Amino acid sequence: MKKNNPIALLPIGVFLVMYLGLGILFEYVLLIPMGFYNIPIVVAFLAAILVACLQNREVKFDDKLELMAQGMADKNIITMLLIFLVAGSFVGVVGRSSAESVAYFMLSLIPARFAVAVLFVVACFVSTAMGTSVGTITLIAPIGVAVSQASGFNLPLCIGAVMGGAMFGDNLSFISDTTIAACNGQGCAMKDKFRENFKIAFPAAVVTLVLILVLSFRTSLSGAVTHEYNLIQIIPYVLVLIGGIIGINVFVVLLIGIVSGSLIMLATGQTAPTELLANMGSGVSGMFETCMVAVLVAAMCSLIREYGGFEALLSAIRGVFKGNKGGQLGMGILVGAMDIATANNTVAIVMANPIAREMSEEYGVSPRKAASLLDTFSCIFQGVIPYGAQMLVAISAANELGFSVSAFEIIPNLFYPGMLLISSLVFIFLIPQRGEHK
Protein backbone atom coordinates (compact mmCIF):
# COMPACT_ATOMS: atom_id res chain seq x y z
CA MET A 1 0.00 0.00 0.00
CA LYS A 2 1.21 3.48 -0.85
CA LYS A 3 1.48 6.06 1.93
CA ASN A 4 -1.31 8.63 2.25
CA ASN A 5 -0.05 11.72 4.06
CA PRO A 6 -1.64 15.14 3.32
CA ILE A 7 0.96 16.90 5.50
CA ALA A 8 3.57 15.92 2.92
CA LEU A 9 2.04 18.53 0.58
CA LEU A 10 3.12 21.32 2.96
CA PRO A 11 6.18 22.32 0.84
CA ILE A 12 3.89 23.12 -2.11
CA GLY A 13 1.75 25.24 0.22
CA VAL A 14 4.83 27.08 1.48
CA PHE A 15 5.93 27.86 -2.07
CA LEU A 16 2.48 29.12 -3.07
CA VAL A 17 2.13 31.32 0.01
CA MET A 18 5.57 32.84 -0.53
CA TYR A 19 5.28 33.35 -4.27
CA LEU A 20 1.60 34.23 -4.61
CA GLY A 21 1.44 36.17 -1.35
CA LEU A 22 4.49 38.31 -2.02
CA GLY A 23 3.46 38.71 -5.66
CA ILE A 24 0.07 40.14 -4.68
CA LEU A 25 1.74 42.39 -2.10
CA PHE A 26 4.27 43.76 -4.59
CA GLU A 27 1.88 44.06 -7.56
CA TYR A 28 -1.32 45.37 -5.98
CA VAL A 29 -0.41 46.80 -2.56
CA LEU A 30 3.02 48.33 -3.12
CA LEU A 31 2.17 48.92 -6.83
CA ILE A 32 5.59 47.76 -8.02
CA PRO A 33 5.63 47.34 -11.86
CA MET A 34 5.87 43.66 -12.84
CA GLY A 35 5.67 42.92 -9.09
CA PHE A 36 5.11 39.19 -9.54
CA TYR A 37 8.34 38.94 -11.50
CA ASN A 38 10.37 40.65 -8.79
CA ILE A 39 9.86 37.58 -6.60
CA PRO A 40 12.87 35.22 -6.92
CA ILE A 41 11.05 32.01 -7.76
CA VAL A 42 14.19 29.93 -7.21
CA VAL A 43 14.44 31.23 -3.63
CA ALA A 44 10.76 30.35 -3.05
CA PHE A 45 11.41 26.78 -4.22
CA LEU A 46 14.54 26.54 -2.04
CA ALA A 47 12.42 27.50 0.96
CA ALA A 48 9.89 24.81 0.00
CA ILE A 49 12.66 22.19 -0.29
CA LEU A 50 13.98 23.22 3.13
CA VAL A 51 10.53 22.56 4.59
CA ALA A 52 10.44 19.18 2.83
CA CYS A 53 13.84 18.29 4.30
CA LEU A 54 12.67 19.21 7.80
CA GLN A 55 9.66 16.92 7.47
CA ASN A 56 9.66 13.17 8.20
CA ARG A 57 12.43 12.79 10.77
CA GLU A 58 12.33 9.01 10.24
CA VAL A 59 14.25 9.47 6.97
CA LYS A 60 17.89 10.47 7.39
CA PHE A 61 19.11 13.65 5.71
CA ASP A 62 21.56 11.69 3.54
CA ASP A 63 18.68 9.51 2.39
CA LYS A 64 16.68 12.62 1.55
CA LEU A 65 19.59 13.88 -0.57
CA GLU A 66 19.65 10.53 -2.34
CA LEU A 67 15.92 10.78 -3.06
CA MET A 68 16.31 14.31 -4.46
CA ALA A 69 19.27 13.19 -6.59
CA GLN A 70 17.20 10.37 -8.07
CA GLY A 71 14.45 12.82 -8.98
CA MET A 72 16.87 15.25 -10.62
CA ALA A 73 18.69 12.49 -12.52
CA ASP A 74 15.53 11.32 -14.31
CA LYS A 75 16.06 10.98 -18.08
CA ASN A 76 13.08 13.23 -18.83
CA ILE A 77 14.49 16.01 -16.63
CA ILE A 78 17.90 15.85 -18.34
CA THR A 79 16.30 15.86 -21.80
CA MET A 80 14.09 18.79 -20.83
CA LEU A 81 17.07 20.84 -19.63
CA LEU A 82 19.08 20.25 -22.81
CA ILE A 83 16.14 21.18 -25.05
CA PHE A 84 15.52 24.34 -23.02
CA LEU A 85 19.13 25.45 -23.54
CA VAL A 86 19.26 24.65 -27.27
CA ALA A 87 15.88 26.36 -27.83
CA GLY A 88 17.22 29.43 -26.04
CA SER A 89 20.17 29.50 -28.39
CA PHE A 90 17.85 29.37 -31.42
CA VAL A 91 15.73 32.28 -30.17
CA GLY A 92 18.91 34.26 -29.51
CA VAL A 93 20.10 33.68 -33.09
CA VAL A 94 16.94 34.61 -34.99
CA GLY A 95 16.33 37.72 -32.92
CA ARG A 96 13.73 40.47 -33.26
CA SER A 97 13.94 41.44 -36.93
CA SER A 98 12.78 38.03 -38.23
CA ALA A 99 9.44 38.21 -36.40
CA GLU A 100 8.88 41.82 -37.45
CA SER A 101 9.51 40.88 -41.09
CA VAL A 102 6.70 38.30 -40.90
CA ALA A 103 4.27 40.88 -39.50
CA TYR A 104 5.06 43.72 -41.90
CA PHE A 105 5.08 41.40 -44.92
CA MET A 106 1.56 40.18 -44.07
CA LEU A 107 0.30 43.71 -43.36
CA SER A 108 1.61 44.94 -46.71
CA LEU A 109 0.06 42.00 -48.56
CA ILE A 110 -3.47 42.03 -47.07
CA PRO A 111 -6.00 44.92 -47.10
CA ALA A 112 -6.14 47.16 -44.02
CA ARG A 113 -9.64 45.91 -43.20
CA PHE A 114 -8.08 42.58 -42.16
CA ALA A 115 -5.20 44.10 -40.15
CA VAL A 116 -6.32 42.77 -36.74
CA ALA A 117 -6.87 39.30 -38.23
CA VAL A 118 -3.35 39.55 -39.67
CA LEU A 119 -1.99 40.40 -36.19
CA PHE A 120 -3.63 37.25 -34.81
CA VAL A 121 -2.35 35.00 -37.62
CA VAL A 122 1.17 36.46 -37.47
CA ALA A 123 1.28 36.05 -33.68
CA CYS A 124 0.16 32.42 -34.15
CA PHE A 125 2.95 31.77 -36.67
CA VAL A 126 5.71 33.62 -34.80
CA SER A 127 4.93 32.06 -31.43
CA THR A 128 4.73 28.58 -32.97
CA ALA A 129 8.09 29.11 -34.64
CA MET A 130 9.80 30.85 -31.70
CA GLY A 131 8.21 28.80 -28.93
CA THR A 132 7.63 31.77 -26.63
CA SER A 133 4.42 33.72 -26.01
CA VAL A 134 6.14 36.47 -24.02
CA GLY A 135 8.75 36.93 -26.74
CA THR A 136 6.04 37.07 -29.40
CA ILE A 137 4.05 39.69 -27.47
CA THR A 138 7.22 41.72 -26.93
CA LEU A 139 7.84 41.77 -30.69
CA ILE A 140 4.29 42.02 -32.11
CA ALA A 141 2.44 44.12 -29.49
CA PRO A 142 4.17 47.38 -30.60
CA ILE A 143 3.06 46.57 -34.17
CA GLY A 144 -0.45 46.06 -32.79
CA VAL A 145 -0.31 49.54 -31.24
CA ALA A 146 0.83 50.96 -34.60
CA VAL A 147 -2.06 49.19 -36.38
CA SER A 148 -4.54 50.65 -33.87
CA GLN A 149 -3.27 54.19 -34.25
CA ALA A 150 -2.94 54.11 -38.06
CA SER A 151 -6.17 52.30 -38.89
CA GLY A 152 -8.60 53.22 -36.12
CA PHE A 153 -9.06 49.73 -34.69
CA ASN A 154 -9.70 49.49 -30.94
CA LEU A 155 -6.35 49.18 -29.08
CA PRO A 156 -7.57 46.46 -26.64
CA LEU A 157 -8.81 44.45 -29.65
CA CYS A 158 -5.40 44.67 -31.35
CA ILE A 159 -3.56 43.71 -28.15
CA GLY A 160 -6.04 40.89 -27.46
CA ALA A 161 -5.47 39.50 -30.96
CA VAL A 162 -1.70 39.50 -30.43
CA MET A 163 -1.99 37.83 -27.02
CA GLY A 164 -4.39 35.18 -28.34
CA GLY A 165 -2.10 34.31 -31.22
CA ALA A 166 0.88 34.19 -28.86
CA MET A 167 -0.88 31.63 -26.65
CA PHE A 168 -1.77 29.54 -29.73
CA GLY A 169 1.90 29.03 -30.51
CA ASP A 170 2.90 28.66 -26.87
CA ASN A 171 0.52 25.70 -26.74
CA LEU A 172 1.54 24.07 -30.04
CA SER A 173 5.19 24.94 -30.70
CA PHE A 174 7.73 22.10 -30.71
CA ILE A 175 10.29 24.29 -28.98
CA SER A 176 7.97 25.96 -26.45
CA ASP A 177 9.12 25.38 -22.87
CA THR A 178 5.56 24.30 -22.03
CA THR A 179 5.60 21.64 -24.76
CA ILE A 180 9.04 20.45 -23.72
CA ALA A 181 7.99 20.25 -20.06
CA ALA A 182 4.67 18.50 -20.78
CA CYS A 183 6.07 15.95 -23.26
CA ASN A 184 9.09 14.99 -21.21
CA GLY A 185 7.12 14.96 -18.00
CA GLN A 186 4.54 12.56 -19.45
CA GLY A 187 6.96 10.56 -21.61
CA CYS A 188 5.43 11.16 -25.06
CA ALA A 189 6.79 12.22 -28.45
CA MET A 190 6.33 15.88 -29.36
CA LYS A 191 4.74 15.05 -32.71
CA ASP A 192 2.10 12.91 -30.95
CA LYS A 193 1.29 15.68 -28.50
CA PHE A 194 1.13 18.17 -31.41
CA ARG A 195 -1.44 16.06 -33.25
CA GLU A 196 -3.52 15.72 -30.10
CA ASN A 197 -3.30 19.45 -29.39
CA PHE A 198 -3.93 20.60 -32.95
CA LYS A 199 -7.40 19.00 -32.98
CA ILE A 200 -8.31 21.20 -30.01
CA ALA A 201 -6.41 24.40 -30.84
CA PHE A 202 -7.22 24.76 -34.54
CA PRO A 203 -11.03 24.98 -34.17
CA ALA A 204 -10.55 27.49 -31.35
CA ALA A 205 -8.27 29.58 -33.58
CA VAL A 206 -10.72 29.49 -36.50
CA VAL A 207 -13.63 30.67 -34.32
CA THR A 208 -11.39 33.39 -32.85
CA LEU A 209 -10.47 34.55 -36.35
CA VAL A 210 -14.16 34.73 -37.31
CA LEU A 211 -14.97 36.81 -34.21
CA ILE A 212 -12.10 39.20 -35.00
CA LEU A 213 -13.29 39.58 -38.61
CA VAL A 214 -16.86 40.29 -37.48
CA LEU A 215 -15.64 43.07 -35.19
CA SER A 216 -13.24 44.35 -37.87
CA PHE A 217 -16.03 44.85 -40.40
CA ARG A 218 -17.89 46.98 -37.86
CA THR A 219 -14.93 49.39 -37.53
CA SER A 220 -14.45 52.54 -39.59
CA LEU A 221 -10.92 52.66 -40.97
CA SER A 222 -8.65 55.69 -41.22
CA GLY A 223 -5.38 54.30 -42.64
CA ALA A 224 -2.90 51.41 -42.89
CA VAL A 225 0.57 50.45 -41.58
CA THR A 226 3.57 50.28 -43.92
CA HIS A 227 7.10 49.24 -43.01
CA GLU A 228 10.12 47.61 -44.67
CA TYR A 229 10.75 43.88 -44.24
CA ASN A 230 13.17 41.14 -45.28
CA LEU A 231 11.55 37.82 -46.22
CA ILE A 232 14.76 35.78 -46.13
CA GLN A 233 14.79 36.16 -42.34
CA ILE A 234 11.64 34.02 -42.11
CA ILE A 235 13.45 30.90 -43.40
CA PRO A 236 14.75 29.61 -40.00
CA TYR A 237 11.24 29.74 -38.54
CA VAL A 238 9.78 27.85 -41.49
CA LEU A 239 12.48 25.16 -41.30
CA VAL A 240 11.93 24.62 -37.57
CA LEU A 241 8.16 24.50 -38.03
CA ILE A 242 8.29 21.99 -40.92
CA GLY A 243 10.93 19.86 -39.21
CA GLY A 244 8.87 19.61 -36.05
CA ILE A 245 5.65 18.73 -37.88
CA ILE A 246 7.20 15.92 -39.92
CA GLY A 247 8.70 14.41 -36.77
CA ILE A 248 12.45 15.12 -37.03
CA ASN A 249 14.24 14.85 -33.68
CA VAL A 250 13.86 18.13 -31.80
CA PHE A 251 17.63 18.54 -31.32
CA VAL A 252 18.19 18.14 -35.07
CA VAL A 253 15.37 20.60 -35.82
CA LEU A 254 16.83 23.21 -33.48
CA LEU A 255 20.34 22.68 -34.89
CA ILE A 256 18.98 23.29 -38.40
CA GLY A 257 17.31 26.47 -37.16
CA ILE A 258 20.45 27.71 -35.43
CA VAL A 259 22.74 27.02 -38.43
CA SER A 260 20.34 28.50 -41.02
CA GLY A 261 19.60 31.49 -38.81
CA SER A 262 23.30 32.15 -38.19
CA LEU A 263 24.16 31.95 -41.91
CA ILE A 264 21.29 34.27 -42.87
CA MET A 265 22.07 36.82 -40.14
CA LEU A 266 25.75 36.90 -41.13
CA ALA A 267 25.15 36.90 -44.89
CA THR A 268 22.61 39.75 -44.74
CA GLY A 269 24.80 41.82 -42.43
CA GLN A 270 22.19 41.83 -39.65
CA THR A 271 24.82 40.96 -37.07
CA ALA A 272 28.58 40.49 -36.63
CA PRO A 273 30.05 37.07 -35.67
CA THR A 274 30.92 38.24 -32.16
CA GLU A 275 27.47 39.74 -31.69
CA LEU A 276 25.87 36.52 -32.95
CA LEU A 277 27.72 34.50 -30.31
CA ALA A 278 26.70 37.01 -27.65
CA ASN A 279 23.06 36.71 -28.75
CA MET A 280 23.26 32.91 -28.53
CA GLY A 281 24.68 33.24 -25.04
CA SER A 282 21.90 35.63 -24.03
CA GLY A 283 19.28 33.25 -25.36
CA VAL A 284 20.75 30.36 -23.37
CA SER A 285 21.07 32.53 -20.24
CA GLY A 286 17.40 33.41 -20.53
CA MET A 287 16.60 29.72 -19.94
CA PHE A 288 18.73 29.33 -16.79
CA GLU A 289 15.94 30.13 -14.32
CA THR A 290 13.51 27.80 -16.09
CA CYS A 291 16.12 25.02 -15.96
CA MET A 292 16.77 25.61 -12.28
CA VAL A 293 13.05 25.55 -11.50
CA ALA A 294 12.72 22.20 -13.31
CA VAL A 295 15.58 20.74 -11.25
CA LEU A 296 14.28 22.06 -7.91
CA VAL A 297 10.72 20.91 -8.58
CA ALA A 298 12.01 17.42 -9.45
CA ALA A 299 13.92 17.31 -6.16
CA MET A 300 10.97 18.58 -4.10
CA CYS A 301 8.47 16.23 -5.75
CA SER A 302 10.71 13.22 -5.04
CA LEU A 303 10.46 13.93 -1.33
CA ILE A 304 6.73 14.66 -1.45
CA ARG A 305 6.09 11.40 -3.31
CA GLU A 306 8.19 9.43 -0.80
CA TYR A 307 6.34 10.99 2.14
CA GLY A 308 2.93 10.10 0.68
CA GLY A 309 1.81 13.54 -0.49
CA PHE A 310 0.93 12.53 -4.03
CA GLU A 311 -1.14 9.59 -2.84
CA ALA A 312 -3.08 11.94 -0.53
CA LEU A 313 -3.72 14.34 -3.41
CA LEU A 314 -4.78 11.49 -5.70
CA SER A 315 -7.17 10.21 -3.02
CA ALA A 316 -8.81 13.64 -2.88
CA ILE A 317 -9.03 13.77 -6.70
CA ARG A 318 -10.59 10.28 -6.81
CA GLY A 319 -13.34 11.51 -4.53
CA VAL A 320 -14.31 14.32 -6.93
CA PHE A 321 -13.50 13.12 -10.46
CA LYS A 322 -14.80 9.79 -11.73
CA GLY A 323 -13.89 7.86 -14.86
CA ASN A 324 -11.62 8.69 -17.79
CA LYS A 325 -13.32 11.96 -18.72
CA GLY A 326 -13.43 13.11 -15.11
CA GLY A 327 -9.73 12.34 -14.80
CA GLN A 328 -8.95 14.47 -17.86
CA LEU A 329 -10.91 17.39 -16.44
CA GLY A 330 -9.15 16.88 -13.11
CA MET A 331 -5.75 17.20 -14.81
CA GLY A 332 -6.85 20.42 -16.46
CA ILE A 333 -8.11 21.93 -13.22
CA LEU A 334 -4.97 20.80 -11.39
CA VAL A 335 -2.57 22.55 -13.78
CA GLY A 336 -4.91 25.55 -14.03
CA ALA A 337 -4.85 25.99 -10.26
CA MET A 338 -1.05 25.73 -10.30
CA ASP A 339 -0.92 28.38 -13.02
CA ILE A 340 -3.19 30.79 -11.16
CA ALA A 341 -0.93 30.40 -8.13
CA THR A 342 2.41 30.74 -9.92
CA ALA A 343 1.48 32.98 -12.90
CA ASN A 344 3.87 30.85 -14.96
CA ASN A 345 2.53 28.08 -17.20
CA THR A 346 5.87 26.28 -17.50
CA VAL A 347 6.31 26.15 -13.73
CA ALA A 348 2.68 25.02 -13.39
CA ILE A 349 3.29 22.12 -15.79
CA VAL A 350 6.56 21.12 -14.12
CA MET A 351 4.81 21.07 -10.72
CA ALA A 352 1.76 19.19 -12.02
CA ASN A 353 3.74 16.65 -14.10
CA PRO A 354 4.45 13.97 -11.47
CA ILE A 355 0.89 14.12 -10.09
CA ALA A 356 -0.61 14.05 -13.60
CA ARG A 357 1.53 11.06 -14.52
CA GLU A 358 0.08 9.06 -11.65
CA MET A 359 -3.40 10.33 -12.57
CA SER A 360 -2.94 9.15 -16.16
CA GLU A 361 -2.25 5.62 -14.89
CA GLU A 362 -5.18 5.83 -12.46
CA TYR A 363 -7.71 7.08 -15.03
CA GLY A 364 -6.38 5.37 -18.17
CA VAL A 365 -5.30 8.58 -19.95
CA SER A 366 -2.60 8.18 -22.63
CA PRO A 367 0.69 10.10 -22.21
CA ARG A 368 0.06 12.18 -25.35
CA LYS A 369 -3.39 13.22 -24.11
CA ALA A 370 -2.07 13.98 -20.61
CA ALA A 371 0.67 16.19 -22.09
CA SER A 372 -1.88 17.90 -24.33
CA LEU A 373 -4.24 18.59 -21.40
CA LEU A 374 -1.48 20.00 -19.20
CA ASP A 375 -0.19 22.32 -21.91
CA THR A 376 -3.64 23.41 -23.11
CA PHE A 377 -5.19 24.20 -19.73
CA SER A 378 -2.05 25.97 -18.50
CA CYS A 379 -2.17 28.21 -21.59
CA ILE A 380 -5.89 28.89 -21.12
CA PHE A 381 -5.35 30.28 -17.64
CA GLN A 382 -2.00 31.94 -18.38
CA GLY A 383 -3.55 33.76 -21.32
CA VAL A 384 -6.13 35.61 -19.20
CA ILE A 385 -4.77 36.18 -15.69
CA PRO A 386 -4.20 39.94 -15.25
CA TYR A 387 -0.90 39.43 -13.40
CA GLY A 388 0.69 37.01 -15.91
CA ALA A 389 3.85 37.96 -17.79
CA GLN A 390 1.97 37.97 -21.10
CA MET A 391 -0.56 40.57 -19.92
CA LEU A 392 2.04 42.71 -18.15
CA VAL A 393 4.38 42.72 -21.15
CA ALA A 394 1.52 43.69 -23.51
CA ILE A 395 0.45 46.59 -21.27
CA SER A 396 4.07 47.68 -20.87
CA ALA A 397 4.57 47.68 -24.67
CA ALA A 398 1.59 50.02 -25.09
CA ASN A 399 2.71 52.27 -22.23
CA GLU A 400 6.22 52.62 -23.65
CA LEU A 401 4.69 53.98 -26.86
CA GLY A 402 2.62 56.50 -24.90
CA PHE A 403 -0.74 54.70 -24.91
CA SER A 404 -2.63 53.63 -21.81
CA VAL A 405 -4.55 50.35 -21.65
CA SER A 406 -5.51 48.18 -18.66
CA ALA A 407 -5.73 44.42 -18.23
CA PHE A 408 -9.48 44.65 -17.68
CA GLU A 409 -9.91 46.42 -21.04
CA ILE A 410 -7.92 43.67 -22.79
CA ILE A 411 -9.52 40.64 -21.09
CA PRO A 412 -12.93 40.95 -22.90
CA ASN A 413 -10.99 40.88 -26.19
CA LEU A 414 -9.09 37.69 -25.36
CA PHE A 415 -11.25 35.46 -27.54
CA TYR A 416 -8.75 32.67 -28.12
CA PRO A 417 -8.30 31.44 -24.50
CA GLY A 418 -12.08 31.32 -24.10
CA MET A 419 -12.55 29.40 -27.34
CA LEU A 420 -9.70 27.07 -26.37
CA LEU A 421 -11.46 26.26 -23.08
CA ILE A 422 -14.72 25.49 -24.89
CA SER A 423 -12.91 23.38 -27.49
CA SER A 424 -11.08 21.46 -24.75
CA LEU A 425 -14.29 20.65 -22.89
CA VAL A 426 -15.96 19.55 -26.13
CA PHE A 427 -13.10 17.16 -26.89
CA ILE A 428 -13.10 15.78 -23.35
CA PHE A 429 -16.83 15.18 -22.98
CA LEU A 430 -18.40 15.04 -26.45
CA ILE A 431 -15.85 13.64 -28.91
CA PRO A 432 -15.52 9.80 -28.84
CA GLN A 433 -12.05 8.71 -27.70
CA ARG A 434 -10.16 6.18 -29.82
CA GLY A 435 -6.89 4.43 -29.18
CA GLU A 436 -6.63 5.91 -25.69
CA HIS A 437 -4.40 3.07 -24.54
CA LYS A 438 -1.67 3.99 -27.01
What is the per-residue pLDDT across 11-39, written as a single tens digit (0 to 9) for each?
Answer: 888 887 888 788 888 877 887 776 666 77
Residue 39, CB half-sphere, CA atoms under 13 Å: how many? 25
Amino acid at 397: A
At residue 95, the pLDDT reads 65
What's the rounded Cα separation, in Å, for the pair 391 and 407?
A: 7
What's the rounded Cα separation, in Å, for the pair 45 and 223?
A: 50
What is the per-residue pLDDT across 47-98, written as a single tens digit (0 to 9) for each?
Answer: 999 999 999 888 899 999 999 998 888 776 787 788 778 877 887 887 666 6
- State in Å, rounded, how far the first CA of the chain is from the last one: 27
pLDDT (mean) for 105-112:
78
Q: Where are the domains of the chain?
A: 67-429
At residue 300, the pLDDT reads 87
pLDDT (mean) for 175-193:
86
What's the rounded Cα separation, in Å, for the pair 40 and 418?
A: 31
